Structure 1
Amino acid sequence: MSEQPTAVDVLVVGAGQAGLGTAHHLLRVGVTDVLVVEAAGAIGQVWRDRWESLRLFTPRRFSSLPGMPFPPGPTRTPSRLEMADYLAAYTRRSGLPVRTSAPVVRLGRDGGAFAVRTPDGVVRARHVVVATGAYRRPLVPAAAEDLDGSVHQVHSSSYRRPGELPEGPVLVVGGGNSAAQLALELAGRHEVTVAAPTEPRFLPERVLGVSIYWWLLLGGVLNAGASTPVGRFLRARPEAVLGRRLRRAVREGAVRLIASPVVAADGPRVRLADGTELRPRTVLWCTGFAPDTGWVDVPGALAEDGSPRHARGASPVAGLHWMGLPWQTRVNSSLIDGVDRDARRTARRIAAELRVRRAG
């Protein structure tokens, strides 16, 4: 491994949709001294490593990155493998400079530049765009530690297929789209109970034969700013479940749904806030992710809880930028189709700052 530093104008950390979209726009505005580093061994590997039946919730039209429409296919929404292939093809077509198998161990300062350490050495950069997504560390309630070994536990990020779970009742903890999709998948093999923190809101996938995403786009909801009345209203509400299959399964008795969060566990028992006690053989935690920014060692970059400090993606630390954050600027900032505007804004900001530096 070489320990010789590499110097670039812009280093993008993460080759998911946010990082690739940003690199695309950087090249378009004339910033060519760019390097994208990706922890995984291949573009799109994160998608390949998710559960086998995973499908995107967004239709193909809303699963595209800037400059390359998502290809047509036999299903309305893409599979995880289609998404992985698309990201790899996007990288090739756009000519993006990506270095894989390069996890960032530490992001720090080195004089007037940033020093980014990877297993292959140090990369120095005037600007760094963190596009890893702020929430990548699996999050489970503290009660998980009080379950004994008779209960098989798995987070949704590690779940692959139904056959991996032991026989017996399954408790799916969570009220979002992942919880709904996995509960339905497991209902054919197991007695499934879903413990949702609140009563789920179910949205139809189609209205008058048209994808609900088109209605949300035409109604201005998808592009509503985070600080607008619409944005503030949506942020205050729990995640909506797209599709009504889970609600139908509950009505038909195929899945049991309890709108009450997990508050405690004791040996083989799980207790909910409403007093319900369950004895599952498996607990599938669909409880989201926590900030994974421990590698960022830049004073002023993070809040006390480890979350990014930023204004519309711009860090208070000069030269540091965030991309792909939930509610970064708009409702759909963390969705694939929402990358375009934020990436364009970030690229233009970086290009302007580089021009000022060179002029000075």
Structure 2
Amino acid sequence: MSTTEHIETVIVGGGQAGLATGYHLARGGRPFVILEVGERIGDCWRGRWDSLRLFSPARFDGLPGLPYPGDAWSFPTREEFADYLQAYAAWAELPVRTGVRVRRVSYDGSRYLVETEHERYVAENVVIAAGYDRLPKTPPYATELAPDIRQLHAIDYRNPDQLRDGPVLIVGAGNSGADIAMELSASRRVLLSGPHPGQIPWRIERRAARVLTPALFFLFRHVLTVRTPMGRKLRPKVLAHSAPLIRIKSADLKAAGVERVARTAGVRDGLPELVDGQRPDVANVLWCTGFKPDISWIDLPVFDEDGEPAQRRGVVEGQPGLYFVGRLFQYAVASSMIQGVGRDAEHVVRHLVARAAVRSASTEDAHIGAEGADQEAGFI
């Protein structure tokens, strides 16, 4: 480490969760820095597939203090939303340092140590907002596919030109799998493998949806939370399975010629094998199988065997000063959505600011006590 810097709070991650947290810290007048691995703010979105559009209308895509500009019922592209994040950071004058990869977060008994390639930060608080569910999850049998089958995880997919000519098996039938299946169906045979995750019962892009969609996002934000019986019952299912289809419908996939097939169970003789025994002869396999937590850089005893932090609304009670924002169903279904990170960030910052006030008062009391002792001893 070439330099060491002391700052009250380090936010790891400069995506929507980190920026929303920074906004509330700035409003509270607390010193902080945001460390972002991308070379530009918004690169976490620019790196996704070319045709991606957000699943939520623009009216639900703004961060605290700055609504998303333009048509409230449009669906921003990945580039448009990335540019919004960059503009948001500039508008809020947030201290974001880009191109910084955090190698390790640890605790020495009194302070947090945040280590990067060239610097070390000493902090009273650390907010993990890194979207660390970014390790692509593929089944172990993926390595058994024949070498002439082109396979990609959704995190590496950009456009159809990456694939070989011929059919593609998409493993994972959630929103990403359905979106990519629709795109690829224009140029090749597409087989979509996996159980149907369900779908919202209306067309979110139609004018009539403008009555129903706000109710859906209200449900995600206020009803399906860890505080309600319905939310607590749903949470394990959300963590284990894909969310319902939002934009694409089963009828759309059928009309496009996408073939629904059984769940992929393994590989036999180099070909993917489905649970019904079929072995589709495909030239490509695209894994839309989600992500698993990358917690290797967080050197703190706060995770269970599944990599879930022991947190309550983002506050790690057993590790004072450590916070999470942007986790899947951290508090509500909306917690990992753009519309939900602002509320969770505000809650975390309220806790952080209150903790800072207690620490400050304790320090002041200790200082006054020391002065009193010195007076009694005749030193002052």
What is residue 305 of structure 1 aligned with on the other side? 306
Does residue 83 of structure 1 match 2:84?
no
CA contact (8 A) 2:55 2:247 kept: no
User: Does the Cα contact within 8 Å between 2:182 and 2:256 map onto a contact in 1?
Assistant: no
Task: Give the length in aligned residue pairs.
Answer: 353
Partner of 1:29: 28
Equivalent position of 1:200 in the other structure:
197
Alignment of 1:296-335 (within 5 A): 296-298=298-300, 300-315=301-316, 316-335=318-337
Which residue of 1 is the match for residue 133 of structure 2? 135
Q: Could you tell me whether the CA contact under 8 Å between 2:220 and 2:332 is conserved in 1? A: no
Residues 1:348 and 2:350 are matched in the alignment: yes
How has the CA–CA distance of structure 1 residues 74 and 229 changed in structure 2, closer, same or farther, with 3 Å as cutoff? closer
Q: How does 1:59-98 map to 2 (within 5 A)?
A: 59-73=57-71, 76-98=74-96
Once the two structures are superposed, what CA deviation does each residue of 1:121-146 show, in whole Å capped at 9, x if it has no partner? 10111000000124110101112111
Paired residue secondary structure (2:259): strand
Query: For each residue in 1:234-260, what CA deviation from the matched residue of structure 2 results, as whole angstroms up to 9, or x when unmatched?
Result: 33364200134443331x3611012x3
| Aligned with 1:254 (options 254, 257, 261) | 257
Task: State the alpha-carbon separation in 1 of the partners of residues 221 and 303 from structure 2.
Answer: 27
1:80-229 equivalences under 5 Å are 80-196=78-194, 198-203=195-200, 204-206=202-204, 209-211=208-210, 212-218=212-218, 220-224=219-223, 225-229=225-229
What is the distance in 2 between the residues matched to 1:75 and 1:23? 27
4+ runs of 1 displaced by more than 6 Å? none
The offset of 1:208, in angstroms, is 6.9
Q: 1:54 to 1:168 in 2, by over 3 A?
A: same
Once residues 100 and 227 of structure 1 are traced to their aligned partners in structure 2, the CA distance between those partners, rounded to angstroms, is 36
Q: 1:313 to 1:69 in 2, by over 3 A?
A: same
Deviation at 1:330, TM superposition (A): 1.0
Aligned to 1:292: 294
1:76 CA displacement: 1.5
Residue 100 of structure 2 aligns with an amino acid whose one-letter code is A
Code of the residue aligned with 1:214 in structure 2: it is: P
Partner of 1:340: helix, strand, or coil? helix
Q: Secondary structure at the residue paired with 1:303? A: coil
Contact 1:294 1:306 in 2 (8 A): no
| In structure 1, distance between residues paired with 2:52 and 2:73 | 13
TM-score by length of 2: 0.89
Aligned to 1:271, the other structure's residue is in SS state: strand
Q: Percent identity?
A: 37
Q: In 1, distance between residues paired with 2:281 and 2:233? A: 37
Q: Distance in 2 between the 1:232 and 1:184 partners?
A: 33
Amino acid at match of 1:240: P
Distance 1:165 1:19, change over 3 A: same
Would the aligned equivalents of 2:105 and 2:113 in 1 still touch at CA under 8 Å? yes
Matched AA of 1:293: I
Aligned residue for 2:16? Answer: 17
* RMSD (Å) for aligned C-alpha atoms: 1.8
| Corresponding residue number in structure 1 for 2:231 | 231
Q: Within 1, Cα distance between the matches of 2:184 and 2:174?
A: 16
SS at match of 1:215: helix
- Are 1:62 and 1:336, in contact at CA under 8 Å, matched by a contact in 2? yes
Report SS of the residue matched to 1:277: coil
Q: Which has more helix, going by share of residues?
A: 2
Match of 1:240 in 2: 244
Give yes or no for contact 2:174–2:196 (8 Å, CA) kept in 1: no
Q: For structure 1, which runs of at least 5 residues remain unmatched after alignment? A: none
Q: Separation in 2 of the partners of 1:103 and 1:36? A: 11
Q: Which whole-Å deviations, capped at 9, do the CAs of 1:261-283 have from their partners, x for residues lacking one?
A: 22111343111122222121100
